[in-house]
Amino acid sequence: MILTIKKVPTVVSNYQEENSEKGFEGCGRNCLGKCCLPVSKLPLYAFKEDNSNLIGNSVEKSSEEQPHTCFLHNLLLGQWEDRMSRGLFRYDVTACDTKIIPGRYGFIAQLNKGRHQKKRLTEFRVDKVLQDFDETKFNFTKVGQEEVLFRFEKSSDHNRHFFPSAPPITADSNNSSVVAINVSPIEYGHVLLIPQVLNCLPQRIDHGSFLLALHMAKEAADPFFRVGYNSLGAFATINHLHFQAYYLAAPFPVEKAPTRRIMTMKSPQGGVIVSQLLNYPVRGLVFEGGNTVQDLSDSVASSCIFLQNNNIPFNVLIADCGRRIFLFPQCYAEKQARGEASQELLDTQVNPAVWEISGHIVLKRQEDFDDASETYAWRLLAEVSLSNKRFHEVKAYVLEAAGFQTDIEEHNRDLEREPIYEQPSPDAVTHLPQDCMVFY
């Protein structure tokens, strides 16, 4: 039996509502397809890929680099505001009411009615995390280049560069990755990272794409800029590989949750630490450390690949400039399809994906926003979480897939002797505008 749910997908591009059955032959729309992208002159940000540790993250340039363009402030957010001034967004997200819900966790509630308007119904399978790319469905090659901020690719000379008008992509190169606006934004600076857009990759994590996302978080160099990922079955709405990211000038509740260290990888990814979230409504793992950026990236990517291959939906949050990565296996879409989800929560039409799970809850109805409480937020997110028994089963297999050889059962017996780590909140920054959101 195929499990499906009728739901309203988020519209992330102004081209998404075009009839996919019409085809796009001839184009002429200056899109991201093979017809237009190879001859485009989109801006290019070339990041420096190195084997440095994420601790002490910085974006200082070498003496050979061009004068550095602040990736987050001057480039990404500056270009995002330019698209806002040009009227490319479906609504003004900066006008959405946002508040911190009173309580221990400080869940963040936003009233965003714009994300509930002008949507079209679609059937989505929720019982299959890996699905083949379907060119007849909406995908990012159909996006107009006016929605693209810049290409984001590895530098060829180990230095950072920004080219306002980059040379065209060579005809035999399909490795160009782009950063585009999400036209239905959740927050200020909401963008999409689309790896190797011309390769039309389905929504599945691989080692290279995850490393690219980690480099994006590192280049931003600001703890209030986070990168997220939703798998199919965990409320990804488009089966074309993409990550999301935005700037929110407040700590996410999950970033403040206490953790307990499970183990430290000794080899080959030396120094990667895995912890388990405690006293949080969604059970999850936290990865940090590692001798290099790639060490940390490979550990998490291997875990995600295991989940994909075993048909377990999941969400990922890349936080703290890439230093901490949260992994959440989840089951809410399947509960919906089986009729096991709370009707009260279904009525809110909130589908908890990475941002909601992390504590930034986007509400679509005025009454839900007015009545939002910590109890409500906890109940909503607890519906997402695997049971304690199932989580421990998945955890053991995930850590084995990531290369951790420690006996999980033996380690679990020692949990009571492990210290609990209280996480500090991110420090406020002063180099970015502080009126991006208003708390009431």
Pairing of strands 108-111, 360-363: parallel
Inter-axis angle of helices 388-401 and 293-309, nearest 10: 120
**How does residue 138 score in pLDDT terms, banded at 50, 70 and 90?**
confident
Amino acid at 113: K
Mean pLDDT value of segment 204-222:
96
Provide the pLDDT for residue 376.
92
- The pTM assigned to this predicted structure is 0.86
* DSSP conformation letters of 339-403: T-S-HHHHHTT----HHHHHTEEEE-SHHHHHT--HHHHHHHHHTTBPPHHHHHHHHHHHHHHTT
Round to whole Å and give the CA distance between 287 and 308: 18
Provide the pLDDT for residue 419.
52
Token couple for 69: 């363009």
User: Collapsing DSSP states into helix, strand and coil, what is residue 301?
Assistant: helix
Token couple for 283: 């059970």
How far is Cα of residue 294 from the mean position of the Cα atoms in its chain?
18
**How does residue 430 score in pLDDT terms, banded at 50, 70 and 90?**
very low
pLDDT digits (tens, 9 = 90+) for 37-78: 877 788 999 998 866 665 555 555 444 554 456 899 889 999
pLDDT above 70 (res 143): yes
pLDDT above 50 (res 426): yes
From the list 240, 242, 360, 431, the catalytic residue is: 242
- Catalytic residue list contains 190: no
Q: What is the mean pLDDT of the chain?
A: 82
Closest among 380, 358, 232 to 307, alpha carbons compared = 232
Neighbouring residues of 85: CB distance < 8 A, sequence distance ≥ 6: none
Residue whose structure tokens are 């450390």: 289
pLDDT above 90 (res 114): no
Residue whose structure tokens are 């200082």: 60
Mean pLDDT value of segment 315-319:
98
pLDDT above 80 (res 9): no
* DSSP conformation letters of 81-143: HHHHHTT-SSS-GGGS-EEEPSSSS--EEEE-GGGGSS---EEEE-S-S-----TTS--GGGS
pLDDT digits (tens, 9 = 90+) for 281-310: 999 999 999 889 999 999 999 999 999 999
pLDDT above 60 (res 410): no
Round to whole Å and give the CA distance between 411 and 406: 7
